[in-house]
Amino acid sequence: MNETPPTDGLHTLGRWTRDRARATPDRVAVDDRGVTLRYHDLDDRAGDLSAAFRAAGYGIGDRVATITGNSQDRVVPGRRADLPERAPQRPVRDDDPLLIAFTSGTLGRAKGVVLTHSNCFWTNLSLSPMTEITSKGVVLAVMPQYHVGGWNIQPLLAWWMGATVVLERTFDPGRVLQLIQDRRITTIMGVLANYLFVAQHPNFAETDLSSLNHAVVGGAPMPAPLLRTWHARGVALTQGYGLTEASPNVLCLPNEDAPSMLRYAGKPYAHVEVVVADPVTGEHRAGASTGELLVRGPCVFSGYFRAPEETARTLRDGWLHTGDLVRRDEHGYFAVIDRLTDIYISGGESVAPAEVENVLFEHAVVADVAVIGVPDDRWGEVGVAFVVTEPGVAESAERLLVYARSQLSGFKVPAHVRFVPQIPRSLGSKVLRRELLASWQNNLVGGAR
């Protein structure tokens, strides 16, 4: 007599693919440069992979790494492995680990963030109403799949809704425009730099974007000129704030709020609870206030991989301590000021590099900018602005500093400006400040200033 197979938890990834395979079996789930998989193929091949793992002796909680880049080979295996079947294991639970996503490592070594099936379900449940993805949608996936945004909120959300994922190996602005036009892309997701590079491409103005009804922007608030550029092409943009440890979505700024809420990250997503806390005492602050952002809810991760001490520092008293300094206004909108670890003290005053960067970014010649604090004998620390100018444009450090003085308090104006060909960034678009600091220190040793 055959035993009834175990039933997995309602919010597990396997249930998503099986349910979608029953509902829309012949709809294309993945298009990897012309190689397509339908939803029933996706489910069948996921089942093949599961069976092969079981036969090889792997079970729930075991870890398997992939080294493939963005491709369908990362998503599903090519065929069933020629291995014997074994007895089914216990059902997969919602709180079982699903993946280990690594942080960007902007300050040091990247940490492995353990996300559960439930974490991924709840973050997609909160995001889905904001993206307007439907079963007829075509989602362009360009973010690297090792990044939590490139996996959890691109293919997983699209599959949950029954849409088609057009999978790109790398990000190329010209190809993005070509795919939007040729494949009638309805939704794209990316970090701020992606949208900047696409808008700067010479084909941007002439490309047919009429199918593109929504874009999701992460990483940083969109500057006013870039926001106007995309709005002029008829594209709605949902912005927000998140972190890997929250899988990743925390704050959301809908398209209709964007023009009046520049530099804001929005309000909490559904099913996400946040507070503003004193960075020193931990006391929760009510109303309009500034402090560290704390997060809790079903999207919050279960811990860092093999790092119990780091987990204990980050998850305290039931809250995820983000390490981000935020400001909440009287209407409940949040602006992310900076990482607490990035803020430097100049003459006894706190300076948030992001605030200075936002001001310099508004200057017409500045294409990219990053600010760090460096030691100074007189002031303790002073700011250094690393600036990339627009192509073919020359600018002097003194003219930039004159502009900065007209926009900022004196102690916030950088003491030094260095022009560089590019700002070192992670693939998630975060500034690698440790590399900038090392560059500054190396130049001091070499006698440059």
In a domain, 284, yes or no: no
Provide the number of structural domains found in the chain: 2
246 close to 259: Cβ distance less than 8 angstroms: no
H or E element: which one contains 22?
A: helix 13-23
- The pTM is what? 0.84
User: What tokens does 231 get?
Assistant: 């709005």
Amino acid at 257: D
pLDDT at res. 22:
95
Amino acid residing at 234 = G
Most confident stretch, 72-76, 154-158, 284-288: 284-288
Band (pLDDT 50/70/90 cuts) for residue 41 is very high
Domain for residue 233, yes or no? yes
CATH number at residue 137: 3.40.50.12780
The tens digit of pLDDT for each residue in 195-250 reads 989 999 999 999 999 999 999 999 888 988 899 999 999 999 999 999 999 999 99
Residue 330: both structure tokens together: 């009287």
**Mean pLDDT over each residue of the chain, to the nearest integer:** 90
Residue of 325, 254, 333 whose CA lies nearest to 290: 325
**CATH number assigned to the domain comprising residue 376:** 3.30.300.30
Strand-pair category, 249-253 with 236-242: antiparallel
**Could you give the CA distance from residue 101 to residue 247 in angstroms, rounded to a whole number?**
9
Convert 104-132 into a string of H (helix), E (strand) and C (coil): CCCCCCCCEEEEEHHHHHHHHHHHHHHHC
Question: Quick one: tokens of 383?
Answer: 């700011």
Q: Is 1 a residue whose pLDDT tops 80?
A: no
Q: What percent of the chain has pLDDT over 70?
A: 91
Mutual orientation of helices 39-55 and 13-23 as an angle, nearest 10°?
A: 140
Interatomic CA distance for residues 402 and 408, integer angstroms: 10
How far apart are alpha carbons 369 and 381 in whole angstroms? 19
222 domain-assigned = yes
For the chain, the straight-line distance linking the first and the last C-alpha, in angstroms and rounded, comes to 80
Element (DSSP H or E) covering residue 445: helix 433-445
220 and 102 both lie in a single domain: yes
Given pLDDT bands bounded at 50, 70 and 90, which one contains residue 427?
Answer: low
Same domain for 258 and 348, yes or no, is no
The angle at the Cα of 420, spanning 414 to 426, to the nearest 5 degrees, equals 95
Strand, helix or coil for residue 329? coil
Helix, strand, coil content of the chain in percent (nearest 5): 30, 25, 40
Token pair of 120, please? 């991924």
Give the pLDDT score at 6. 62
Residue 182 lies inside a defined structural domain of this protein: yes
C-alpha to C-alpha distance for 184 and 202, rounded to whole angstroms: 20
44 falls within a domain: no
Model confidence at 72: pLDDT above 80: no
- 34: alpha, beta or left? (left if phi > 0; alpha if psi -120 to 50): left
User: Is 313 contained in some domain?
Assistant: no
Q: State the residue range of the domain holding 403.
A: 344-445
Average pLDDT over residues 181-186: 98
User: Model confidence over 105-138: pLDDT tens digits?
Assistant: 655 678 999 999 999 999 999 999 999 899 999 9
